[in-house]
Amino acid sequence: MTMNNSLSGQLRQIGLCAVPAQLDDFLARAAKARWSPHQLLEEVARAETTERSRRSLERRLRLSGIKSFKPMADFDWAWPTQIERSLIERALTLDFLSQARNLVLMGGNGLGKTMIAQNLCHQAVLAGHSVSFRSAAALLDDLARLEDSIPGDDPARAVYLSATLRAIECTLRLLNGETFDYLQEVHRLYDIHPQLTPESAFESAHHALDSLLPPLPGGEMTARLVAWRQRFEFPAERGPALLELARAETRRRTAAFVALPHEESVEVRLTSNQPWSAYNWYLGNGRSLIEFNTDMPLNATTLLATFAHEGYPGHHTEAILKEQALYRQRGYAEQAAALLHSPAAVIAEGIATTALDMIFPDGTGHDWTVAVLLPAAGIAAEPDTAARLRGLEAAGAALRAVNANAAILYHTGQLDEAQTRDYIRTYGLTSPERSAQIFRFCTHPLYRAYSFTYSEGRRLIATSPDPVATFRRLLTEQVLPSELAAP
């Protein structure tokens, strides 16, 4: 055994890989250049770093499952009849990863989704990320193995995980081109059996609203409702100050309602060009980012409810308490993922849509809005404004089911597109533009079944024997909608 062979083995023993492989050449270069001890160590570090980066890249590419693919330079942008090229090119910068957001590519077969996805994955690997590229069929195989490995030590958790995997299976089969009866799809995804709400409930709500809304010469009900709401709109530049008032008050009341972790926080931002009015991005470790969309007019009378929905004691509060109780204390790894299409979404939206009622019971949130938010927004109020807002909310409660009805009627073939949009406009008292937007949501491949999570989630909590106790339980426990619905 030569000296260098012995040294090479010792270097490998301590974890080096680049220098031992080229030890003779490395020592020759060091002698020729007369490296100082410091330079020698720098060269060792540089060589090892380069080699480890190369090996890491090779390993991540091998494990990614990307296989061979065409680069985006070969993509035929003219082939799909409709494609948002700027969004695809922006996605290839991987900015959505740093923002912890999902990217969904949707379209028919043969339009290039796989090619785009492979290029995205390749870019991510080059940027140092680990990637798993899997087809829907392969994921279904993985899912079958997961079902066989559900832990049996906690029967309630096993039932919960089984329902969650059923929802994932349904989503994968839909992505794989399968179709289901619409209401069967809703049940598989969300563990609910929604029913049509009688139109008579909507008509009764219209009569109640008619008696409460201020008159408007020549104005039909929708116009009167729009005019009433517009009285309380405020410019976006006042948003941060008003949102901070709502944040502070909802947090104060929530902290008195349930114990909040010490290290939790909410960051608020204004945004634009989004399909939603507000959104909570849970970042983990007790932190959330809540964005409010300024494309839609900010309204002082709904601001408190929106903050309670997204923050305290809504989405943010559920996320931090379940992270603490289930993920950290019990090691339930499934809590690290928030699935859009699963029974958990019904519970989450049920919590969010009843959140304000928990900390402002009996409609008292309207009193706080009139006393605090309206003056801060520079909006004048009448002596009966709070009472009128309370009455309008109660009268319009039944209209929450309009969109769910419309979805059932359209997807079961009872109404066509024009009839569905007219149904939403007539019973939901919305403008033609708003009706068209709701129809797009109800027919969007990703969200066509999601409308029920709001109406069914709220109903399950509100009609439980003790809504407050149910709400508190749902903040920290894994509960299925079917369990709440059981007699």
Q: Which residue has the higher pLDDT, 434 or 209?
A: 209
Q: What is the pLDDT of residues 226-237, one digit of tens each?
A: 999 999 999 999
Phi, psi for residue 154 in degrees, rounded to 5: -125, 100
For residue range 432-450, what is the model confidence (pLDDT) as tens digits?
988 998 999 899 888 889 9
Answer for the pair 282, 316: CB distance below 8 angstroms, yes or no. yes
Give the residue-averaged pLDDT of 116-130.
92
Checking if the pLDDT of 4 tops 70, the result is no
* For residues 110-133, average pLDDT: 91
Tell me how far apart the terminal alpha carbons of the chain are, to the nearest angstrom.
Answer: 80
pLDDT of residue 290: 97
Determine the pLDDT at residue 239. 94
Q: Would strands 298-299 and 278-284 be described as parallel, antiparallel, or unpaired?
A: unpaired
Mean per-residue pLDDT, 459-482: 97
Residue pLDDT, tens place only, 70-92: 999 999 998 888 888 999 999 99
Q: Which residues of 266-283 are buried (b: 16+ CB within 10 A; e: fewer)?
A: bebeeeeeeeebbbbbbe
**pLDDT of residue 109 exceeding 70:** yes
Radius of gyration of the chain (CA): 28
Q: Residues 244-256: pLDDT tens digits?
A: 999 999 999 999 9
Q: Is the pLDDT of residue 3 over 70?
A: no
Q: Provide the mean pLDDT of the chain.
A: 92
Please check the confidence at residue 2 and state whether its pLDDT lies above 80. Answer: no
Q: What are the sequence ranges of the domains in the chain?
A: 3-64, 72-126, 136-179, 199-485
pLDDT tens for 164-195 read: 999 999 998 888 778 899 999 999 999 999 99
The token duo for 336 is 């690290």
Whether 135 has a pLDDT exceeding 90, the answer reads no
**pLDDT, mean of residues 380-394:** 95
pLDDT for residue 1 is more than 50: no
Q: Determine the pLDDT at residue 273.
A: 83
Q: Which of 437, 433, 457 is CA-nearest to residue 447?
A: 437
pLDDT of residue 181: 94
Indicate the pLDDT class of residue 386, thresholds 50, 70 and 90: very high
CB atoms < 10 A from the CB of 213, how many? 20
Q: List, in sequence order, every residue forming a beta bridge with 284; answer none if it has no partner.
A: 287
**Percent of the chain beyond pLDDT 70?**
99
- Cβ–Cβ contacts within 10 Å for residue 142, how many? 12
Residue 317 pLDDT: 98
pLDDT of residue 68: 87
pTM: 0.81
Average pLDDT over residues 31-52: 91
pLDDT for the residue numbered 155 = 92
- Quote the pLDDT of residue 11: 87
Pairing of strands 287-293, 278-284: antiparallel
